[in-house]
C-alpha cells in the first residue's frame, strides 16, 4: 500500500461525488452530519489511493487487509469498513465487509462523591450551569451546545432537545438543583428566547472543544484521577440512575438512545451496589 499512498498525492477525487455521497448518508441512511463527514473522509482517502471513484470489491477487501496489517486500531478499521459498505451501496454495488470485533470496554463514570467534588470546584455561573446540565440531563455535548433559551421548560423541570443524533426531538427531565443553576446563570446573562443558552466569552455559541477543555480542567481541579469528559458525565447519570433504582427504559428515554442495546452498554452497576444486591438475592446452596 505504500507505493499507492505515494501515488495518491497526484490522484484527484471527485469532490462533488463525495458531497453527494454524504448527502445520501444523511437523507437516505439517517446518518448524523458528523458521522457522514467522517465516512466521507475515510472514503475520500480510499479513493485517492485506488485512483478511481468506482473501485472494485477486490480493491476494497485488499485495502481492509492492508489497514489491519499496518496495525491500525480496530475502531479506525471499523469506521472505514462502515464507510466503504455505505459507499458501495451508494454506487449500486454489492459488498459486505465485516468490521473487526472491538473490545467492549466498560465506560468510565463518576461516583456520586466524585461528581459532587467536580461541582464544588466550578467557579463561574456559566460553567456551573454547563456542568450541572450535563450531569443531570445526560445530553450529548453537541446537544448542549445547540440549546436555545426557547428550548427550556424550567417551570416544568424539562428541556426540549432538538438537535439530536437520531433526528428526533425529546424531552429530558432536570432536577431542581439543575433548574436553580440554569436560572441563576440566565438571569445574569439577560438572554432572549431566540438566543443560545451557552455562549463563549466572545458572545457566540459555545463550541464542543471549549466544553471539553472546561470539563477536563475542572476534573483535574477536583483531583479526580479519571479522564473527565462530557461523555463521562453522560455515563455518570446513566450509571447512577440505574444504581438508584431507575429502569433501563427510563434511562433510554432520558439519554435519547435509538436501541435498548445502546442503553445496556452504558448502564453498569457500581461494584458496591452489585455486592449488596448479590448478598440479598444469592440463594443458599
- Mark 174-184 as b/e (b = at least 16 C-beta within 10 Å): beeebbebbee
| Catalytic residue flag (residue 231) | yes
- Rounded CA-CA distance 63/69 in Å is 10
- Rounded CA-CA distance 135/232 in Å is 9
| Contact status, residue 161 vs residue 253, Cβ threshold 8 Å | no
- Rounded CA-CA distance 251/240 in Å is 10
Q: Pick the catalytic residue from 128, 234, 235, 252.
A: 234
Residue identified by cell 456542568 is 131
| Catalytic residue flag (residue 104) | no
- Rounded CA-CA distance 123/121 in Å is 6
| Catalytic residue flag (residue 165) | yes
| Catalytic residue flag (residue 87) | no
| Contact status, residue 44 vs residue 13, Cβ threshold 8 Å | yes
Q: Pick the catalytic residue from 140, 185, 218, 235.
A: 140
| Contact status, residue 138 vs residue 131, Cβ threshold 8 Å | no
**Among residues 48, 51, 24, 50, which one has the least CA distance to residue 35?**
24
Q: Pick the catalytic residue from 37, 45, 165, 273.
A: 165
Q: Which residues are catalytic?
A: 140, 165, 231, 234, 257, 266
Amino acid at each position: 500500500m505504500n507505493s499507492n499512498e505515494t501515488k495518491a498525492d497526484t490522484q484527484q477525487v471527485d469532490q462533488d461525488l463525495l458531497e453527494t455521497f454524504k448527502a445520501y448518508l444523511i437523507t437516505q441512511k439517517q446518518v448524523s452530519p458528523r458521522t457522514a463527514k467522517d465516512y466521507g473522509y475515510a472514503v475520500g482517502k480510499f479513493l485517492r489511493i485506488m485512483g478511481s471513484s468506482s473501485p472494485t470489491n477486490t480493491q476494497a477487501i485488499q485495502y481492509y487487509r492492508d489497514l489491519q496489517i499496518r496495525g491500525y486500531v480496530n475502531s479506525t478499521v471499523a469506521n472505514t469498513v462502515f464507510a466503504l459498505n455505505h459507499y458501495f451501496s451508494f454506487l449500486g454495488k454489492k459488498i459486505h465487509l465485516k468490521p473487526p470485533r472491538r473490545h467492549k470496554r466498560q465506560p468510565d463514570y463518576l461516583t456520586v462523591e466524585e461528581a459532587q467534588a467536580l461541582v464544588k470546584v466550578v467557579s463561574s455561573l456559566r460553567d456551573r450551569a454547563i456542568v450541572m446540565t450535563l450531569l443531570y440531563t445526560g445530553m450529548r455535548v453537541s446537544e448542549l451546545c445547540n440549546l436555545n433559551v426557547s428550548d427550556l421548560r424550567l417551570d416544568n423541570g424539562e428541556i426540549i432537545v432538538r438537535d439530536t443524533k437520531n433526528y428526533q426531538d425529546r424531552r429530558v427531565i432536570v432536577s431542581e438543583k439543575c433548574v436553580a443553576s440554569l436560572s441563576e446563570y440566565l438571569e445574569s446573562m439577560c438572554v432572549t428566547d431566540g438566543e443560545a443558552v451557552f455562549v463563549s466569552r466572545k458572545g457566540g455559541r459555545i463550541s464542543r472543544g471549549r466544553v471539553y477543555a472546561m470539563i477536563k480542567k475542572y476534573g483535574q481541579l477536583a483531583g479526580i484521577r479519571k479522564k473527565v469528559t462530557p461523555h463521562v458525565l453522560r455515563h455518570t447519570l446513566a450509571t447512577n440512575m440505574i444504581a438508584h433504582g431507575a429502569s433501563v427504559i427510563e434511562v433510554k428515554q432520558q439519554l435519547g438512545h435509538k436501541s435498548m442495546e445502546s442503553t445496556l452498554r452504558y448502564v453498569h452497576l457500581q461494584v458496591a451496589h452489585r455486592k449488596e444486591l448479590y448478598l440479598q438475592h444469592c440463594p443458599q446452596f
